[in-house]
Copies of this chain bind each other. A is one copy, B any other.
Amino acid sequence: MQAISLPRFGGPDAFSLSEFETPAVGAGEVLVRVHATSINPLDYQVRRGDYADLVPLPAITGHDVSGVVEAVGSGVTAFKPGDAVWYTPQIFGGPGSYAEYHVASEAIVGHKPAGLTHLEAASLSLVGGTVWEALFTRAGLRLGETILVHGAAGGVGHVAVQAAKATGAFVFATASGYDADFVRSLGADVVIDYRTEDYVAIVNRETDGAGVDVILDTIGGDTLERSPHALAQLGRVVSIVDIAQPQNLIEAWGRNASYHFVFTRQNRGKLDELATLVARGQLKPHVGKVYPLAGIPDAHADLERPRNGIRGKIGIAIVDDGAAGPR
């Protein structure tokens, strides 16, 4: 099979497209023909060597699979050849998804939402799990609350806006003015152009100084420090962007704030919840750009470029599905 692999850590040019043996399926495992994968910030962090201790080289990386079961190992009961599936490969636990075939324990695999193409499903599995973890498991966002989503046009952000609306929250969203209509189409109630407007001022104006209950940070910078100024009493900040820059959190106590720091975790339990939202029309991933398998280095370069103008996710079409394929 063909795969994009990483013989060394480095820039996008560290990747190499080469021939690998198709992996063998073991007991309790499924062999999947990968139709699509997608790119996440975690992917370029891994590529750069941020997690070098956890990634033995050479490595096939990648954290999203949507595809079709080709074979199953002994004892597998939930899946059979021909089933369409989606999942996030075991994180730091073996080969990733930048390949024509992938083998995974059936325990982490879900049935692909029927309403999504492989490209769409592959664009949702990791970020969808992250959003579920961040907004519901960690921050406990609920009906009647108010949320501010930073970076609402991005991979995580555009799913977060939809999930927050689906749970009945009122949504403030920051984006560039260029993306305002896109973000509004996802359901955001108030779109703030971070280039020209101050989100603290707008949140306080629109909430009569009450602040929002939850802030989702997908951006970094000074967001953690500034959050209490836009936060309600007992508000929660959820950050998925690790920042080494020291933070002055003195205002957090007066708000009785909670900060939830989220790093990607295995998402099997959340795939079915996400599929339910998709089936009900409450959630649809947006694939803003598509590359073939050989285009993964270019896709990485795109994603690492700040303000790259790409909405939602960058998808990788490994099998051209025709009607069921890239949109």
Contact = CB atoms under 8 A, between A and B. Distances in A.
A259 B257 CA distance: 8
Tallying the copies of this chain within the complex gives: 2
A20 interface: no
A265 interface: yes
A260 B261 CA distance: 11
Given A261-B257, A261-B258, A249 B252 contact: no
A323 interface: no
Interface hub of A243, A246, A249, A259 (most chain B Cβ within 10 A): A249
Interface in A21-47: none
Contact of A239 (B253, B254, B261): B253
B259 A263 contact: no
Contacts of A256: 138, 261-263, 265
A253 B242 CA distance: 6
A118 to B, nearest CB: 30
B257 A250 contact: no
B254 A263 contact: yes
Contacts of A261: 249, 252-253, 255-259
A296 B34 CA distance: 73
Interface string A242-282: 11111111101111111111110100000000000000000
Interface residues of A, number: 25
Interface hub of A244, A246, A254 (most chain B Cβ within 10 A): A246
A211 to B, nearest CB: 15
Contacts of A252: 259, 261
Nearest to A238: B258
A253 B262 contact: yes
A301 to B, nearest CB: 25
Contacts of A249: 224, 243, 247, 259, 261
Contacts of A224: 249
A258 B139 CA distance: 10
A256 B244 CA distance: 15
Contacts of A258: 138, 258-261
Contacts of A262: 253, 256
Nearest to A51: B254
Nearest to A257: B261
Nearest to A259: B259
Contacts of A254: 242, 263
Contacts of A259: 249, 252, 258-259, 261
Contacts of A242: 250, 253-254
A244 B253 contact: no
Contacts of A248: 244-247
27 contacts: A138-B256, A242-B250, A242-B254, A243-B250, A244-B250, A245-B248, A246-B246, A246-B247, A246-B248, A249-B259, A252-B259, A252-B261, A253-B261, A253-B263, A254-B263, A255-B261, A255-B263, A256-B261, A256-B262, A256-B263, A256-B265, A257-B261, A258-B259, A258-B260, A258-B261, A259-B259, A259-B261
Nearest 6 pairs between A and B by C-beta? A246-B246, A242-B253, A252-B261, A244-B250, A259-B259, A253-B261
